[in-house]
Amino acid sequence: MLYLSADGAQRRIPLAERTALRLERALLTDDRATRRRELVEAFRDDQDVAGWALRAAEARLGRTINQLEEAANWLCGCLEQELGASLATEASDGQISEIEWRLPALAAKLCIDERRLMEFQQQLEREKLESLKELAYGASHEINNPLANIAARAQTLLVDEVDPERRRKLAAIHRQAMRAHEMIADLMLFARPPKLNLVPCNVGELVGRVVDQTRALAQEYNVQMTCELVGESIQLPADATQLGVAIQAVIVNALEAIGDGGHVRITVRQTAGGDPRWAEIAVHDDGPGISDEARRHMFDPFYSGREAGRGLGFGLSKCWRIVTDHGGQVVVQRPSVGGAEIDIMLPIALNAATRL
């Protein structure tokens, strides 16, 4: 007998052979539309499996899911992991049919492959950003000194200058030099942020303060912004000042992505099970989404995707640096409902943060 475990493995949902074959076809296809269609048909044929998918989607997304299509959209992106963790076979009369052993084996194999690919991509991204960190530090140090000299000399010349046109030009020189200096300061924060001052921190309260600080910007962009704490309050050791900068960078990026109108939803929750447990700060916007090209470079301080419609660059670079110093991760999601979602994941049982 092939079945899905549900409700913390306390309940078993039997899988009919027809449903199992549909799930197998969904696993084997690379086309998202085909996968979604197979899942929807499986849900319509089997109400118990549909209920399993709806409950799993609600538990993972932290919100109510009522439509089978919405549950199928979510499951499309994590089918291997969900089936790999939930599928099991129990021999009936000492016999197991072909699909009963084939589907769990396929799901487990694909789940391992997906995990290895994700780990490789994360390692590649970490190593790339670590090398960029050293480049940023060296470049910032060398560029900052002449910039300071230019700004100081322009300011000195302004003191005795009486010609209005020359004063305008000197003021422009000073203003642009200071603008470049601010960009260098962002690079320095990415390369060598201040040492963390870890103290007990209430994550929900910190996110609430940051959201309040960015409401004026949201109003300027005509964007609706909501914040929700799912479950109990979360306490963890953190540098509240630096972590606030990281959270604000993701929220501002979402607001800039939308541009005018739309909705940004910030959700704070604790992941279920696992060791360590994670505090998750999910920032979802209904903007144009993130292209594959932008995704590959979005934490790179020398890349900007603004031409493509997203405000990437220094803000997300600083966010990545601060979050990884806290022992966490910044995860980019592709929501089934469109737009983009960036999740800040922080371990609740935090080991000493280290910095290379």
Give residues with Cβ within 8 angstroms of 48, minimum separation 6: 13, 14
141 token code pair? 């140090």
Please give the sequence-ordered ranges of beta strands (E in DSSP) within the chain, or none if there are none: 2-6, 11-14, 87-89, 199-202, 224-229, 235-238, 263-270, 278-285, 329-333, 340-347
Asked whether 251 and 267 are in contact (CB, 8 A), the reply is no
Task: Give SS3 for 259.
Answer: coil
β-strands 87-89, 199-202 pairing: unpaired
DSSP secondary structure code for residue 336 in this structure? T
Read off the pTM.
0.57
Could you give the residue ranges of the DSSP H alpha helices within 46-97? 47-61, 68-76, 79-86
Residue 336 Cα distances to 33, 75, 218, angstroms = 12, 9, 24
CA separation for the pair 62, 270 (Å, rounded): 10
CA separation for the pair 233, 279 (Å, rounded): 10
pLDDT tens digits, 277-332: 889 999 988 887 777 777 766 776 666 554 433 433 467 878 888 898 898 888 88
pLDDT tens digits, 217-262: 999 889 999 998 887 888 999 999 999 989 998 999 888 888 777 8
Q: Quote the longest CA-to-CA distance of the chain.
A: 100
Phi, psi of 136 (to 5 degrees): -65, -40
According to the model, what pLDDT value does residue 243 have?
A: 93
Helices 79-86 and 98-160: angle between axes, nearest 10 degrees = 130
Task: Give SS3 for 30.
Answer: coil
- β-partners of residue 201 are 236
pLDDT tens digits, 19-71: 888 888 988 888 888 888 898 888 888 888 888 888 888 777 666 777 888 88
The yes-or-no verdict on residue 116 having pLDDT over 90 is: no
